[in-house]
Chains A and B, each alone.
Chain A
Amino acid sequence: AQSVTQLGSHVSVSEGALVLLRCNYSSSVPPYLFWYVQYPNQGLQLLLKYTSAATLVKGINGFEAEFKKSETSFHLTKPSAHMSDAAEYFCAVRASGGSNYKLTFGKGTLLTVNP
């Protein structure tokens, strides 16, 4: 079984400030981890994914995340926020290997970027 906890349902930052969105996971087997972004009235798009290769993963739009096994974390960061980053962000986990292709999502974090 796997689960995801996203700390903070709403994060507000100023334009140009660091973005840090927190995600902790629970998994009984080595996980694959994902961050998705959802803009208003749209479906989810993949930002980045960790699939047991490099622990620091770079994604689209300048985002990156680091897999820390000891902390069971996969926090999402961006050095400098842009107004266009305002959206809802979802962390997700699935078990690596096997045939279980079900993703379990966190409850989401709404990012607001202030001018």
Chain B
Amino acid sequence: DAGITQSPRHKVTETGTPVTLRCHQTENHRYMYWYRQDPGHGLRLIHYSYGVKDTDKGEVSDGYSVSRSKTEDFLLTLESATSSQTSVYFCATQGRMNTGELFFGEGSRLTVL
């Protein structure tokens, strides 16, 4: 258990509003990831971070930005939410062992009306 907490767990918002999802970890893991999960698409990587202030894009990064000012926090921001961003968002961290295992949070369900 990597002690990953996502907030909020559920959010309903309207098109055009900004939304920020927070991921907090207590294991001092260097790598952190944001994925979205949609039926028929599995998990797709949005952005990831390989250290404080070091981030990079994943395969579905359009419309999303991230920030990591502290090791333990990784924020995902939707500047202007759209209905296509309705999804379940998962944060994950990479453990210290270099075997690629990811530890996942419980997910944040976002509905954009």
Please give the residue numbers on chain A whose beta carbons come within 8 Å of chain B beta carbons, in ascending order: 6, 9, 32, 34, 41-46, 49, 51, 90, 94, 99, 101-108
Question: Are B99 and A49 in contact (CB-based, < 8 A)?
Answer: yes
Question: Are A34 and B42 in contact (CB-based, < 8 A)?
Answer: no
Those of B57-113 within 8 Å (CB) of chain A: 58, 90, 92, 94, 99-102, 104-107
Partner of B101, one of A34, A42, A104: A34
Q: A9 to B40, alpha carbons, bound, how many Å?
A: 8
Residues in B neighbouring A90, C-beta threshold 8 A: 42-43
With a 10 A CB-CB cut-off, give which of B42, B92, B94, B107 has the most chain A CB atoms.
B42
Q: Contacts A43-B107, A101-B50; is A107 near B41 (CB within 8 Å)?
A: yes
Partner of B104, one of A43, A49, A102, A104: A43
User: Binary interface profile of B, 13-49, with partner A (CB < 8 Å = 1, else 0)?
Assistant: 0000000000000000001010100001111110010
Q: Contacts A42-B106, A51-B100; is A107 near B31 (CB within 8 Å)?
A: no
Residue contacts A-B, CB under 8 angstroms, 17 given? A32-B99, A34-B100, A42-B106, A42-B107, A43-B90, A43-B105, A44-B92, A45-B104, A49-B99, A99-B50, A101-B48, A103-B100, A103-B102, A106-B42, A107-B40, A107-B42, A108-B42
Residues in B neighbouring A9, C-beta threshold 8 A: 40
Closest chain A residue, CB of each to CB of B104: A43
Question: Are A43 and B31 in contact (CB-based, < 8 A)?
Answer: no
The minimal Cβ–Cβ distance linking A63 to chain B, given in whole angstroms, is 16
Closest chain B residue, CB of each to CB of A99: B50
Residues in A neighbouring B90, C-beta threshold 8 A: 43-44
Question: Are A43 and B100 in contact (CB-based, < 8 A)?
Answer: no
Question: Are A94 and B100 in contact (CB-based, < 8 A)?
Answer: yes
